[in-house]
Amino acid sequence: MKKISILIAIACSLSIISCKKDEGISCTTCSSPETASFQVCKERNGNASVGGQDTGTLYDVYITGLEAAGASCGN
């Protein structure tokens, strides 16, 4: 019985830790012929940030706009 309790506790701990990682900021590198490479990050609020500044635009919309303008973005 103790072994099952320990296994359940470990599984719960791992699931909580993995959820916290999902809440973090994720970044991708973009480049274009006109600019040096730069990072675009998805903030916790869903907006894109560049150089640590929130753009006020949703990340997916911002990336789509960059790619439409000729930039290449990827991890």
Q: What is the pLDDT of residue 75?
A: 55
Q: What is the pLDDT of residue 56?
A: 97
> Taking residues 36-57, what's their average pLDDT?
96
Q: What is the pLDDT of residue 24?
A: 75
Phi and psi at 4, nearest 5°, equal -65, -40
Domain range summary for the chain, segments of one domain joined by +: 25-75
Indicate the pairing of strand 35-42 with strand 72-74: unpaired
> Taking residues 54-66, what's their average pLDDT?
97
DSSP 8: H
| pTM higher than 0.85 | no
Q: What is the pLDDT of residue 1?
A: 58
Average pLDDT, whole number, for the chain?
A: 80
